[in-house]
């Protein structure tokens, strides 16, 4: 096993498009790293460069300390699981899994032992003599995994390995992959466009957009302290709400489409909850006060609550919206609302984020709030919401940088 280092790696296609732009990334020995991002962000190209399936235009790639830029895939000792599984249709499961070993000229007995061991782990023993065409989608996926693990390679590369499975199987297999990686301890790079997979699987997650890495962090940190609007909007489901706001000249209140939200006032700082004071302090440090300034305010759906269920003396902002749609999930209630007016995000961000652009005819800004199941919110009726102002994220509307991210 080995670590993988990408040192200022770039990829430029023949037509001049730069799809991977100066990516620097260290994947520790035994680490499970997720590359996540919208389609076309360069994550698959990055994976293919690590695999040796694409040339590296600039920069250096090291596996186990050795520069492998010019090595063909077969000399890199890494295994890959493809989105399409890429099982050889003319070979049995046994032959598929043993193909790499037979190319490596291992003795037949040795190959049989390793293949059977892997098949046992993956529950494929009774399917060993069948062809891929005779297997279900989940079984094929496991064969693809098996083909990778029989080789005991230095690293696993996985390219959206779950995206061809149905929802239920995807969750099951996700857990299996996680267990398998824990057990084998093999360095793994896993590419996905699904933020749920990214959050549940990885030791660390690298969020990519437009060929660049936006942030590399453990899932929890990515969620709590996104460095910019893109990461904030990409990670989390339903996605973070974004409102165009104005910070007042005294720097202590936000004028929002839902009314003015005071950021000061009594703060019951019990030490567990973050307080607005720290938020303002971080904001001041990132952007010294200079009169009124426009900002983008990000609020996660769970940082709303039905005002009726919050003690009246609890600090935070309160506002009223019309509940256009109420989804009751049993444990929670989701309230959807929208209103006309300026939008916080440009269209390019909308294209890359899992947030619906404003619907024609409906309002410009959309809002999703996750409320307690006890909420009385009803479809078509106004609902009074409470906002946990200590959890707000304030972003620079031009650069998109998070001005209030807690330093971790």
Q: Whole-number minimum distance, CB 7 to another protein, in Å?
A: 23
d(CA 14, CA 22): 17
DSSP state of 75: G
Nearer to another protein, 130 or 255 (CB): 130
In this structure, are residues 70 and 241 in contact, taking their beta carbons and an 8 Å threshold? no
Burial 13-48 (b: 16+ CB within 10 A, else e): eeeeebbbbebebebeebbbbbbbbbebbbbbbbbb
Nearer to another protein, 89 or 288 (CB): 89
In terms of residues, how long is the chain?
A: 408
- Answer left, alpha or beta for residue 386, where phi above 0 means left and psi between -120 and 50 means alpha: beta
Helices assigned H by DSSP within 60-157: 93-103, 108-122, 137-149
Q: Is the peptide bond before 361 cis (omega within 30 degrees of 0)?
A: no
d(CA 178, CA 24): 25
> Which is it for strands 393-395 and 293-299: parallel, antiparallel or unpaired?
antiparallel
Nearer to another protein, 99 or 261 (CB): 99
Q: For 341, list phi and psi in degrees, rounded to 5.
A: 130, 180
Q: Whole-number minimum distance, CB 97 to another protein, in Å?
A: 10
Q: Whole-number minimum distance, CB 101 to another protein, in Å?
A: 9
Task: Reduce the secondary structure of 11-25 to three states and give it as a string.
Answer: EECCCCCEEEEEEEE
Nearer to another protein, 101 or 254 (CB): 101
Complete DSSP assignment for 167-193: HHHHHHHHHHHHHHHHHH--EEEEEES
In this structure, are residues 377 and 383 in contact, taking their beta carbons and an 8 Å threshold? yes
d(CA 359, CA 362): 5
Q: Whole-number minimum distance, CB 182 to another protein, in Å?
A: 23
> Which residues make up the interface to another protein (CB under 8 A)?
51-53, 72-74, 78-80, 82-90, 99-100, 103-104, 147, 157
In this structure, are residues 176 and 27 in contact, taking their beta carbons and an 8 Å threshold? no
Q: Whole-number minimum distance, CB 89 to another protein, in Å?
A: 7
Q: Whole-number minimum distance, CB 377 to another protein, in Å?
A: 40
Nearer to another protein, 81 or 367 (CB): 81
Q: Whole-number minimum distance, CB 213 to another protein, in Å?
A: 24
Nearer to another protein, 85 or 223 (CB): 85
Look up tokens 């009124």; give the residue.
292
Q: Whole-number minimum distance, CB 206 to another protein, in Å?
A: 22
Nearer to another protein, 186 or 402 (CB): 186
User: How many Cα neighbours within 13 Å face the side chain of 103?
Assistant: 11
Q: Whole-number minimum distance, CB 6 to another protein, in Å?
A: 18
Nearer to another protein, 92 or 246 (CB): 92
Nearer to another protein, 13 or 381 (CB): 13
């Amino acid at each position: 096993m080995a670590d993988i280092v990408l040192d200022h790696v770039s990829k430029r296609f023949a037509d001049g498009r730069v799809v991977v732009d100066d990516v620097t990334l260290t994947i520790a020995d035994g680490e499970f790293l997720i590359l996540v991002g919208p389609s076309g962000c360069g994550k698959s190209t990055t994976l293919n460069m690590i695999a040796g399936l694409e040339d590296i235009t600039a920069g250096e790639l090291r596996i186990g300390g050795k520069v492998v830029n010019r090595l063909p895939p077969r000399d890199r000792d890494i295994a890959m699981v493809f989105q399409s599984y890429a099982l050889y249709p003319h070979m049995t499961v046994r032959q598929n899994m043993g193909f790499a070993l037979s190319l490596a000229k291992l003795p037949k007995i040795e190959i049989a032992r390793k293949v059977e061991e892997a098949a046992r782990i993956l529950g494929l023993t009774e399917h060993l003599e069948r062809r891929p065409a005779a297997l279900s989608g989940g079984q094929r996926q496991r064969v693809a995994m098996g083909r990778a693990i029989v080789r005991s390679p230095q690293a696993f590369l996985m390219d959206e390995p779950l995206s061809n499975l149905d929802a239920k199987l995807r969750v099951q297999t996700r857990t299996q992959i996680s267990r398998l990686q824990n057990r084998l301890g093999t360095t793994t790079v896993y590419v996905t466009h699904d933020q749920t997979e990214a959050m549940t699987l990885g030791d660390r997650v690298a969020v990519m957009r437009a060929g660049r890495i936006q942030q590399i962090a453990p899932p929890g940190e990515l969620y709590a302290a996104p460095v910019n609007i893109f990461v904030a909007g990409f990670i989390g489901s339903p996605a973070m709400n974004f409102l165009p706001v104005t910070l007042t000249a005294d720097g202590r209140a936000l004028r929002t489409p839902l009314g003015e939200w005071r950021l000061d006032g009594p703060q019951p700082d019990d030490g567990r909850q973050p307080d607005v004071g720290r938020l303002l302090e971080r904001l001041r440090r990132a952007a010294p006060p200079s009169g009124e300034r426009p900002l983008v305010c990000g609020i996660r759906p769970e940082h709303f609550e039905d005002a009726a269920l919050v003690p009246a003396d609890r600090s935070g902002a309160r506002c009223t919206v019309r509940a256009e749609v109420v989804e009751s999930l049993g444990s929670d209630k989701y309230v959807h609302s929208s209103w006309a007016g300026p939008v916080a995000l440009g269209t390019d961000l909308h294209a890359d984020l899992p947030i619906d652009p404003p619907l024609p005819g409906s309002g410009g800004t959309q809002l999703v709030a996750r409320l307690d199941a006890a909420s009385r919110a009803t479809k078509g009726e106004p609902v009074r919401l409470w906002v946990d102002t200590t959890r707000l994220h304030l972003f620079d509307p031009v650069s998109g940088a998070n001005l209030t991210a807690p330093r971790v």
